[in-house]
Amino acid sequence: MNLHLVDIGLILVYFIAVLLVGVYNTRTDSTSDYMLMSRKLTLPAFVMTLVSTWYGGILGVSEYSTSYGISNWIIFGLPYYVFGIAFALLVAKKARALEVNSLPEILVSDYGKNAGWLASVWVLLLASPAPYILTLGLILNFFLGLNLVVAIIVGSIFSLFYILNGGFTSVIKTDKLQFLLMFAGFLIILMVLSGKYMSPIDLWHSLPESHKSLTGGQSLGYILVWFFIGSWTMVDPGFHQRVYATTTPGIAKRGILWAVLFWFIFDLMTTLTGLYAFSYLPAETIPSQAFLVLGNAVLPIGLQGLFYVGILATVMSTLDSNTLVSGITLGKDILSTFSFFKTYSTKVLIKASMLIVMLIGIVMAIWMPSVIDLWYTFGTISIPALLIPTLFSIFKKPLSQRAVLLNLTIPPMASFLWFLFGKIDDWSYFWGIEPFYPGLFCSLLILILFWNSHKEATL
């Protein structure tokens, strides 16, 4: 794609601005500052970082909204509002009051180191930067014509540079900027399309029924899996990190409710953009590139660059956050517990771990080049393992250590094997059942069996 020099200039200014904001006055020697900004996260900053880091797979949204219409809102919107509100009302204050530094710490305190190590494995999968490494690589590939592998590596190195210096402080400072840019970018293209092409009302009347359907032609079982994957919110390590970093439990609760409102607004904007892309662009357009192609087709010089900056901001805000969370999980929650690494400071281990998870993320992005597939796979395997043990600990109703170790082992293995056999058999799952369900069933079965045993033992 050929961009005008003005648009290229705006994109370069964005990268320079993110770099300067990310490194200026962010260096700290305190591990607490590096991981959680010493728990000084205020309400506005909490809302802005929570919203901006929730949308990194913007090309996945482009793919789904263009292909399946408003069901994008049902798949990637509604479940997260439900579980986000549930987290705010039921979990936020309790989680903040624990005064922990990471999600695995919750399980270590109740169930021991082995539970913490197992939980850390699944947290690493949930917090993997791979989907966002892939997204940034695809965007750079589209803009610059770089080989996809080269684009993935270049984007990864840049995003890693500034968070190595300032950690969570750098993430928060850049998220404030990126929050504004992502909303501005999509507002720009929607205003131009409604004036230049057709109004949203006229667009709605012109759409086929497939794009007005809440299911988008997908099976109810598939839709329900994505709804349950929305419970990702309850155990999302980045979500927990921000809650732990707030100054008070009340800010955590109020901030999430405000974030849900902004999620709703941004989902409306991105879904509407997808509907415009379906209507305006040729049928042969690659759905995952639809937002990029649409911006190039309808926006004038200057505004095109601003829209692309908004897309980049949406991706990079999540990529740097997940890289940091993964580094904390590997460095603090796993490596620092081994005697071999005791001679290294926690901060050094976190930084080294960020390099490791970035390399692994690059390999995964190249191996599975679909954002939606990465989301689906990671959520399907990890959520059944983490959901019940984490919530039971937060609500101070711990299970037996054996029950938790089984829950952190059997459900994810069941989901993975179901997924693997389906992949071998040309994506034909046994009895048409999505792999999330066997994992969730195993988790609930373990809960029922050991809960009954616990009650009998106390009688």
Neighbours of 446 (CB within 10 A): 23
- pLDDT tens-digit readout, 137-167: 888 888 877 788 888 888 888 888 888 888 8
Which one has a higher pLDDT value, 242 or 152? 242
Q: From residue 128, how far is each of 294, 311, 320, 374, 376 by CA, in Å?
A: 29, 20, 11, 9, 13
Q: Would residue 198 count as lying in a domain?
A: yes
User: Bigger pLDDT: 284 or 223?
Assistant: 284
- The pLDDT > 70 percentage for the chain reads 94
- Is residue 440 included in any domain, yes or no? no
CA distance 321 to 327: 10
Phi, psi of 246, rounded to the nearest 5 degrees: -70, 155
Q: Is residue 185 part of a domain?
A: yes
CATH of the domain at 314: 1.20.1730.10
Q: Is the pLDDT of residue 264 over 90?
A: yes
- 260 CB-near residues (< 8 Å, 6+ apart): 80, 81, 84, 85, 88
Mean pLDDT of 177-197: 94
Domain assignment present for residue 117? The answer is yes
**Pick from 120-124, 276-280, 366-370: least confident:** 366-370
Rounded to two decimals, the pTM is 0.88
- pLDDT score of 451 more than 80: no
**Residue 458 pLDDT greater than 90, yes or no:** no
Highest average pLDDT, of 223-227, 259-263, 381-385, comes from 259-263
Lowest mean pLDDT, pick from 141-145, 184-188, 206-210, 349-353 = 141-145
Strand partners, 41: 246
pLDDT given at position 419: 80
Q: Over 70: is that where the pLDDT of 423 sits?
A: no
Task: Judge whether residue 100 has pLDDT over 80.
Answer: yes
Inside any domain, residue 402: no
Determine the pLDDT at residue 428: 65
Residue 428 lies in a domain: no
The answer, yes or no, to whether residue 288 has pLDDT greater than 90, is: no
Confidence tier at 253 by pLDDT (50, 70, 90): very high
* Burial status of residue 455 (CB atoms within 10 A of its CB: 0-12, 13-18, 19 or more): exposed
Q: How is residue 34 written in tokens?
A: 């590096």
Find the domain containing 46 and state its range. 5-388
Is 112 among the domain residues? yes
- Is residue 404 predicted with pLDDT exceeding 70? yes
Three-state SS for the chain is CCCCHHHHHHHHHHHHHHHHHHHCCCCCCCHHHHHHHHHCECHHHHHHHHHHCCCCCHHHHHHHHHHHCCHHHHHHCHHHHHHHHHHHHHHHHHHHHCCCCCHHHHHHHHHCHHHHHHHHHHHHHHCCCHHHHHHHHHHHHHHHCCCHHHHHHHHHHHHHHHHHHHCHHHHHHHHHHHHHHHHHHHHHHHHHHHHHCCCHHHHHHHCCHHHHCCCCCCCHHHHHHHHHHCCHHHHCHHHHHHHHHECCHHHHHHHHHHHHHHHHHHHHHHHHHHHHHHHHCCCCCCHHHHHHHHHHHHCCCCHHHHHHHHHHHHHHHHHHHHHHHHHHHHHHHHHHHCHHHCCCCHHHHHHHHHHHHHHHHHHHHHHCCCHHHHHHHHHHHHHHHHHHHHHHHHCCCCCCHHHHHHHCCHHHHHHHHHHHHHHHCCCCCHHHCCCHHHHHHHHHHHHHHHHHHHHHHHC
Report the chain's mean pLDDT, rounded to a whole number: 87
In a domain, 223, yes or no: yes
| Structure confidence at residue 258 (pLDDT) | 96
Q: Residue 370: which pLDDT band, with cuts at 50, 70 and 90?
A: low
Question: What pLDDT sits at residue 25?
Answer: 65
| Pick from 426, 401, 395, 375: nearest CA to 115 | 401
How many domains are there within the chain?
1
pLDDT in tens, 27-52: 777 888 889 888 999 999 999 999 99
459 pLDDT more than 60: no
Give me the mean pLDDT over the 116-123 stretch: 91
